[in-house]
Amino acid sequence: MEFILLLFSSYIIGLITAIPIGPIQIEMAKRSISGYVKESIMVALGSTISDLIYGFIAIFGIAPFLADKEIEALFLFIGGIILIILGLYTLIYSNRYTENNIKKAKLFKIHTSFFIGLLIAITNPPIVFWWLFCFEFLKDINIMESIKTPYSIAFLLSAGVGIVSYLISMALLINKIGKILTYKTEHKINKAFGIFLIVISFYFLFKSVQTYFNFITK
């Protein structure tokens, strides 16, 4: 019974982890709304695998390395550059929009979509501390006795299922909405996605510079 409760709690935590809207959801949405559900799901899988990698890092105690402010600033900077590239690509693609040219978009390929999901999520090392918080929370309410047990692995896998199931549900829902939109409307939405990615990228770059200067001025 305790194990079932752990799996259920972990699944809910996974759902909560996936809910905040960010670059991953934007990358998924711009694929789903254009009818590329498989590619959207591959973004979700890439992101989930990255999140689980950080979960295992948290389990095996490498989190202090990622707590280094220089490392954090570097990850934020890399994330900002990636988002600028994706945002600009989306804007260029939307400006050349026709009903058929979406098939030519390289970033909409299945393997590329997976890599993009993995790459975006892997520039978010602070998620390690979210996993550690969740571990401690489950320990405090006596659902999990210790971090370094097979129960921790079960926690991560169940949470991973929660993350990917939410993201896939989102992809399917957006795809249904996309079917009733005109191509002109899709063009405007994709353009908005591109602008949003660039805005987020500036935030990442600002936080990177701020984190680095706070580190060197201490």
Q: Flag whether 178 is in a domain.
A: yes
The model carries a pTM of 0.74
* CA atoms of 28 and 22, how far apart (whole Å): 10
Q: Give residue 55's domain range.
A: 2-13+24-216
Q: Is residue 185 a part of any domain in this protein? A: yes
Give Dmax over CA atoms of the chain in angstroms.
56
Residue 18 included in any domain = no
- Pick from 27, 19, 11: nearest CA to 82: 27
The Cα 155–Cα 190 span in angstroms is 36
Instruction: Determine, yes or no, domain membership for 192.
Output: yes
Residue 211 token pair? 């984190």
Per-residue pLDDT of the chain (218 residues; tens, 9 = 90+): 678 888 899 999 999 888 877 888 888 988 888 788 999 999 999 999 999 988 888 777 665 555 577 777 887 788 788 888 878 877 776 665 444 444 445 556 788 899 999 988 887 777 877 887 787 788 778 777 655 578 888 889 999 999 999 999 999 998 888 777 666 676 777 788 788 888 888 888 888 888 888 877 76
Place of tokens 């804007």: 91
The answer to whether residue 19 is domain-embedded is: no
**How many domains are there within the chain?**
1
pLDDT at 181: 64
For residues 99-124, one letter each, b for 16 or more C-beta atoms within 10 angstroms of the residue's C-beta and e for the rest, the string is eeebeebebbeeebbbebbbbbbbbb
In a domain, 33, yes or no: yes
Asked whether residue 182 is assigned to any structural domain, the reply reads yes
Domain assignment present for 176: yes
Return the pLDDT at 74: 82
